[in-house]
Amino acid sequence: MRLIDLDPHWVVDVVGKRIGFTFVSPANARMRQSCFPNPPPRRTQWKIWDVMYADDPSIVQGCNPNALWTVAGGIEAASFDTLTVTPSIDGSPGGLWHGYITNGAIV
């Protein structure tokens, strides 16, 4: 499966800089998972979902604000077709997908 097939969206800050992304969870098509190289506090994430997904902000599982992810080449230069994120994205605490995004593939 490819990340691009999971309706990915960039998360941007107030000046339009990419700070993360969301995608439909491979484990539950009604939920989205998120990833930030430097996760903001949970309260800030909730405010972001309120804006991005105003029709239903509860569809997004936020990131652990104490975790760090690396986007190969940097998030500003990234493409969903070729995105690589390390370490794994673990949505299992909320019953969602746990795995890797490598060269745009969900593995």
Q: What is the pLDDT of residue 28?
A: 96
Name the domain count of the chain: 1
In sequence order, what are the residues at sequence separation of 6 or more whose Cβ sits closer than 8 angstroms to the Cβ of residue 2? 81, 104, 105, 106
List the beta bridge partners of residue 10.
Answer: 21
Number of DSSP helices (H) and strands (E) in the chain, helices first? 1, 8
Q: What is the pLDDT of residue 5?
A: 98
The single-letter code of the amino acid at 101 is I
Residue-number span of the structural domain to which 48 is assigned: 3-106
Residues of the chain below pLDDT 70: none
Q: What is the pLDDT of residue 37?
A: 96
Name the strand (E) or helix (H) holding 34: strand 28-35
Strands 60-61 and 28-35: parallel
Q: What is the pLDDT of residue 39?
A: 95
Q: What is the pLDDT of residue 51?
A: 94
